[in-house]
Structure formats: C-alpha cells, structure tokens
Structure 1
Amino acid sequence: MDRRELLKTMGILSGSLLISDYVAAQENATSTLMENGKDQLSIQEFQKYYQTDRSFTNLENGFFGVMSEPVLHKFIENTRTVNSRLSGFARLEFPKLYRDALILTGTYLKLPSNSFIFTRNATEALNVAIQGYPLAAGDEVVLSQFDYDSMVETWEMLQKTKKIKLVYLEIPAHPESAAQIVELYKNAVTSRTKIVHLTHINHFTGLILPIKEITDALKPSGVKTILDAAHSFAHIDYSITELGADIVAINLHKWFGSPVGTGLLYVKPELISAMNPLFGDVKQKENSIYKLAHFGTTPFANIMTIGAAMAFQQQIAPAVKQNYLHGLKKTWIDGVQHLSAVEVLTPVSPEWSCAIGAFRMRNMDAKKVVDQLWTAHKILGVVRNLKGGDCIRITPQIYNTTADSERLVKALTVLNNS
C-alpha cells in the first residue's frame, strides 16, 4: 500500500482526523506515555538492555543508533507479523496502527495536528522541505561549513535549476559566545534572503548551535528557518516547537533507537499551503501536511515499532542521558588535550557539545589515524571531510562506558608518541 492510499484508508485525507479527535486521542496517548515512564532507570540499569559486539570499541555511533533489546524484539515481532499476515494485515489492520503511531508521536513530541509526517530519514525529510519551499531566481539561502554535505548538495542543485544564490558563512569551531553565532547569521541576511539553513548538532565536530537565540533574532526579518536536527533529537533535551524553527527534520533511528529507516518532518501549519510536494500528489488539500507524504510503500514494521522506542526512552530522564553522553566525550577530550600532535575541534563545555567530538592529528593523515586506531587498537572512528582539513569523528552512545573513552585516550597517546 502506498502512503497516499494508506492515508486515504485511515480517513486522514477525507478530514476525519479532526483536531478535536486528535486532541482527544492525545489525551489517551499521554496516559500511556506517563504509565510507560513512571519508573525511570539509572544509566547502569538502562545499559543492561543493550547487547552489542564488544570484540571492538565502537565509537562511530553517529552513523545510526542501536535498538535496545526490548525494541529489537518488538521490531522482529512486527516484521514477522507483516511477513506472515501479508496484505490482509497491511490493508485492514495497519492503517489504525499507523494512525496510532502518528498520535503517539505527536503526543510525545508535543506537536499539533497537521504539522508532521513520517519519513525514512532526516535527509529525505530535508529534501521534501528544501525542494518544496517556493524559491525564485535571485533568492538567497544562508548556509555554513557545518551543514550536512547532502543538504548542501541539494541546495547546490537548486542553485543550478532555480538560479538561487547561496551565501556561506564560517562558524568558529570554538565559539566565544552564543551572541557571536547569532551575529554571524544576522549579518549574513539581506533583503533577498528567504531561507536560513541551520544544523542543530553538526555531524563533523558535534558543535551545538544556539538555535532558539538564532530563530528569535531572525524573526523580525521575516526569513524562514529550516533546521536539520538529525543528530540532536533524543541526544540533547529540547522541544521541537520551542526552538522556533519553521521547518524541522529529525531522525528517529540515531539517538532515539527506532529501527533504521524512521525519520520525521515538522512544518509549521501556516507554511504548509505554500509548500510544494517533492513527489507528485494533486489529490491533497493545499493546507494538508499529508500532501508532502507521498513516498510509496510504507515500511510497516518500522512505523509499528516507534511506540516501543518511545516507551523504552521514557525509562531514562533526558537530562540523565544527556549528562552521561557528555561525560563520555569529556573523558576522552580531557585526556588528549595536552597531547602535542592532537588538535581538538570540539568545545568540551556542555553548552556547545554533547556526545559527538572530533580531532585531527598534526603529524598524521586522518584516514591513517582511523586505520591505526582500528588495526592496532580495535577502536572504530570515522573520517569526516570538513572544510579546512579532514577530521576524525568520535561518537560514543549510551551503551558505551568510561573505559571505552579511556581506551581511546591510551591509543591516541601511543599515536602521539610514535
């Protein structure tokens, strides 16, 4: 069943999912979420639900996240259900499960009705937003060197096809203050600027931008903001709507622990009418968010497992999780700051970074560093092609331990002295 047929079956396209129904359904979903989250776990208790290969130290968790055992078991169960019950299940029962997932997700994220759709990842969500926003020749879009490569390429494509102008700014790796970042964006805006593209936590160095301060500063200009929050959702604690961005894309399969292939696009309801679908669909109302959701066959089990991921994530307080992830990063950065060959590219302060960190070695090519970490120490990191020089990104996850960070410190000390 493709997404449009699915939504029609659900009654969303015909308008039966009214705001009043949505609010009432959210009340029931809220009770469920509160019940699921009533007994929160310590880090050590939470970690027991992850079973990962410990024959190597995986510090490359920025690629995709890990499902906890309860979520994985639910995903396998859901996959078996779809695989055994086939179209009868998909056509007759799944529509209600999809609707329930929408309502539960809206409740969990505190999003209003008609403001978000499920996507397969944040890249797809951002493509829907970027290519769907009405732009004309000469319109300007502001980007930075920390924006995700694939999204920059999408904007570069529109530079060729729509003749828009791209304005690039340089964000310091170690900012002096939030005000400094805000001024950079304000100064980049002109009378021709239509969009400012922001990345909440970049995938190179893990720098956290002060998004709320930036969006507040840009509001008087009328410029719209598209926020790439692929790496920040369930990584640091915040509310999507409180950030103030007009359009937000997140991944559910990185820090949230849903199956790979789950993402979400949020669009302020008042902007929906102006948006154009990336995939042709002329049967939706202009002000319906679902006109942007015509992707083809739905990954049934993925959607069915989102609720399990929510229930599990509610077992730990967001601040506890964030502080632990920051501590893992701080341990290795503090341990290598003094090494003469190591250049740390990530501020250690929790204001500016959480789990993700990056470094370069002055005496060794980045790829060689990654190769040496793997072959000699069985530590996995990844090279990121950052403007100004490649870097090595280190990304621990909630299942990692302080000993994993300390193992990296020992390995880099060896490389530094070699």
Structure 2
Amino acid sequence: MTPSRRAVLAAGATAMAAPALAADPVSLARDERHWARVAALFDSPPPGVIQLENGQFGAMTRATRAAYEQKLARVNRETTLYTRRGALQDVQAVRAKAAAFLGVDVDEIAFTRGGTESMLVLIGGYSRLKPGNAVLYADLDYDSMQVGMESLARLRGVRVVRFALPEPATRQRLIDAYEQALKANPDVRMMLLTHLSHRTGLIPPVKEITALAKARGVDVLLDCGHALGQTEFSLRDMGVEFAGLNLHKWIGSPLGVGLVYIRRDRIRDIEISILAEPSDAIDARVHTGTVSYASVLTVADAFDAHAAIGPAAKARRLQFLRDRWAETLRDHPRIQVLTPPDPSLHAGITSFRITGQTSLGQALELKKTLFERHGIFTVERPGAAKGACIRVSPSFVNTVDHMDALVAALKEIAA
C-alpha cells in the first residue's frame, strides 16, 4: 500500500473523531449514516453473511492494518538491525501509551500474547496460596481460566470452589451470590472474576464484588478479556489489583497482543517466570520469547483508531445494537435473553436460548439453522449452569437491518 493510500485511510479514521467526541454518545449510537462511515473504515464482511460473531477477535481498521503491514515490512527488511537497536525503545513508547490509556503506571503493565496468557500469568503465578486454602470461580468464567483454577488443586494443594451465577440476574442478586459463596467458604483466599462474560455477555458489579472480597481478605483476579474496548471502565476506580486484558478483540490490534496489569505494590505476589532472572519488575512475570514486534508496535495505531471512533460512542453503539434485538425479544414466550435489561450489566454481547433447548447439540443445530437458512453467523456457548446458548456479538460493521433480520429469523424459528 502506498504512503498516500495509508494517509487517506488514517485521515478517514481521524475524521470520525469530531462527531464522536462532540455528539451525545446515546444519540450518536442511533445515527446510521455516521456508523456507515465508521463501517467504511473496516473491510466489508463476505457478501451474503450477517456477521454477528465478532467476539473471538475484532477486525483492524484498514488504517491499522496498513500500519501493521508497514511495520511488518520494516521488521522483515531490517531484521536484527532494528530489533537489537531501536525496537525496544519503540515498544516502550507503545507501552507508555497503553498505560496512559488504562490510567495506570507503565511499570504496572506488560505485553502478553492475549488475555488468556495474561490470566495464566496471574492464576499460575499467584503465590499466596497454601494447602488448606480455597479458590473460587463461577460457571460463566472463561473455559481456560476455569481449567487454570482447577489446576491449582494439583499445583498448590488448595480446594477449588465453583458456583453458578443467578439467571436471570440483577445487580443485587449478583452481589449476593458472590457474598454467599464467600461466606459459605471462609477458606477462600483468591477468586476469579470475569468483567464481561464470553458466554452470555453478563457484566457483574465488579467494584462492589471486589470490595466485598477484599473485606474478607480475598484477592480478585479480574479477567477483562472482553471488556476492554467494548465498555468504559477504570481499573483504579474499580479497586482492581490484578487484571488480564486483550487488545485484539474490541481495541482492534493485530492478533496476538494482550496486557497483564498488576498494581505496583502487589507485583511480588505473582511469581517470577521460571525463565526469568529474579526481579521485582512485572516484566519478570511474563516471558514470551521473541515477540511479534510488528503486532505490538501496531497497538499504538489501534488505540488511535479506537480514540478516533470514540470509546463512549463505541460502547453506546454496541449497546444500541444489542438492545435492538434483545429487548425486542425480551418478552417472547419461547426465547430466553440471558442478560438483563439493566445497561450496567451488559455491553454489546448477549446470548439467548430457545426455551427448553439447553443441550450443546441443540445449540449447534440452532446455530446451523441461523447460518444456512438466514445467513446469520453466530457461535454456540456451552458451560452456563442452566444450559448451552447462542452468543450474538455485533460490531461496528453491523446495522439495525442486521439486528432486525436476527429478530425476524428467531421469531420464525421459535414459532
């Protein structure tokens, strides 16, 4: 791609900033002409498909992709002339930009290859457990994190407690569920908390739950894999001390980049990697070998695209698209919408199931029907205590017509 073409794409992203920052985000979320311009910043999905599975990873804007290709070309061309001289300084500048975005200090974050690796650093490295202690997690937590928590029984000699979150949920019911689980298990010393569930889209009251855990001497490891870029939050305001974050989902960086956050005074509570020399630095807790320099460096461009579209505008748009189908079907007698209408408890992702269809096989068949008969692509999500479901994850290329098509398809299927 020519420099002039890259400049045109970057200018298009920058042009989004003025309306996104000046307009009321709630009103802007409904402006289809504005979001058509935003959609034009991305490559179009394949024709004939309504892409409603944007949760595994998010597309880069074309400007971000152009920047990535440019950086990849430089690394490939200069090889170690760059990576052994100027690359580290450039990576540190991107790291400082990420820290400023998160509102934390630069020595409290380190790059990883994604949210799963970030949580592996925290779960596997948490050093304050002793035989006889317990750890806690919920049914809606991410599969790999659940496996990690279960592994602590073998690795640390602790008891593992799993419990189910309420369905349907309210803020108070969620707080009460965690409080009751902690009260019933006073030996819990560490717990996993998912900021935004990949299974149903549920957002628990993180600040309140973290506070009640701390009051009982329990450390919280927060999985922010789906939350960053999909909703607005502050790690410091929520009282979070340990968090894993993903940059290739809703921030739109190249695949394979995440962040781990550890508050400075808690870094020593996460063990040093067996591949690292003893150190009090967070970097010693993460060892990924040779990094994808181009991917990490492009995080800066992804943050620029995110800022240009507008974090608040993105969050409200995703909620608007979600509400367009979920709240329309809320009272349907045969469709169960699995996140509540309370906007503080969901973002853009929400799952559903047809009443009585709780098996994984039924969810797979429903996904197949939506795609083959209606051209709507979704994904099945097993693991919730009350049964498997279908996840709907709209993004910035989606329109109200896409959500209305989903409504029409589900009404036909559930008739």
Scaled to the shorter chain, the TM-score interval is: 0.7 to 0.9
Cα offset for 1:154? 0.8
Matched, 1:373 2:370: yes
Q: Write out per-residue CA displacement over residues 137-159 of structure 1, whole angstroms, 9 at most, x where no aligned residue.
A: 12111111111111010111121
Match of 2:134 in 1: 140
Matched, 1:235 2:233: no
Structure 1 residues 210-289: aligned runs within 5 Å: 210-281=205-276, 283-285=277-279, 287-289=280-282
Q: Which amino acid aligns with 2:287?
A: H
Structure 1 residues 181-192: aligned runs within 5 Å: 181-189=174-182, 190-192=185-187
Q: Which amino acid aligns with 1:81?
A: R
Structure 1 residues 285-364: aligned runs within 5 Å: 285=279, 287-362=280-355
Give the aligned CA root-mean-square deviation in angstroms: 1.8
Change (3 A) 1:109 1:36: farther
Match of 2:382 in 1: 385
Q: Distance in 2 between matches of 1:161 and 1:185?
A: 25
Q: Distance in 2 between matches of 1:304 and 1:245?
A: 26
Q: Which amino acid aligns with 2:369?
A: Q
Give the one of 393, 396, 400 matched to 2:394: 396
Q: Which amino acid aligns with 2:38?
A: F
Structure 1 residues 92-241: aligned runs within 5 Å: 92-134=85-127, 135-176=129-170, 178-189=171-182, 190-241=185-236
Cα offset for 1:40? 4.8
Query: Counterpart of 1:241 in 2: which secondary structure?
Result: coil
Structure 1: gaps of 5 or more residues: 1-34
Q: Distance in 1 between matches of 2:325 and 2:16?
A: 32
Give the one of 10, 15, 18 matched to 1:39: 18
Percent pairwise identity: 28
Q: State TM-score, norm by structure 1.
A: 0.87
Moved more, 337-346 or 396-405: 337-346
Aligned residue-pair number: 380
Match of 2:5 in 1: none
Structure 2: gaps of 5 or more residues: 1-13, 21-33
Query: Counterpart of 1:272 in 2: which secondary structure?
Result: helix
Q: Which amino acid aligns with 1:131?
A: G
8 Å CA contact 1:140–1:192 kept in 2: the answer is yes
Q: Which amino acid aligns with 2:166?
A: P
Q: Which amino acid aligns with 1:366?
A: A
Q: Write out per-residue CA displacement over residues 362-407 of structure 1, whole angstroms, 9 at most, x where no aligned residue.
A: 3661111100111111110111112321111110012211111111
Change (3 A) 1:395 1:279: farther
Match of 1:64 in 2: 57
Q: Distance in 1 between matches of 2:203 and 2:229?
A: 14
Q: Distance in 1 between matches of 2:237 and 2:396?
A: 25
8 Å CA contact 2:195–2:226 kept in 1: the answer is yes
Q: Distance in 1 between matches of 2:18 and 2:300?
A: 17
Cα offset for 1:347? 1.4
Query: Counterpart of 1:270 in 2: which secondary structure?
Result: helix
Cα offset for 1:36? 10
Cα offset for 1:247? 0.4
Q: Which amino acid aligns with 2:199?
A: F
Q: Distance in 2 between matches of 1:59 and 1:125?
A: 26
Q: Distance in 2 between matches of 1:39 and 1:301?
A: 29
8 Å CA contact 1:279–1:295 kept in 2: the answer is no
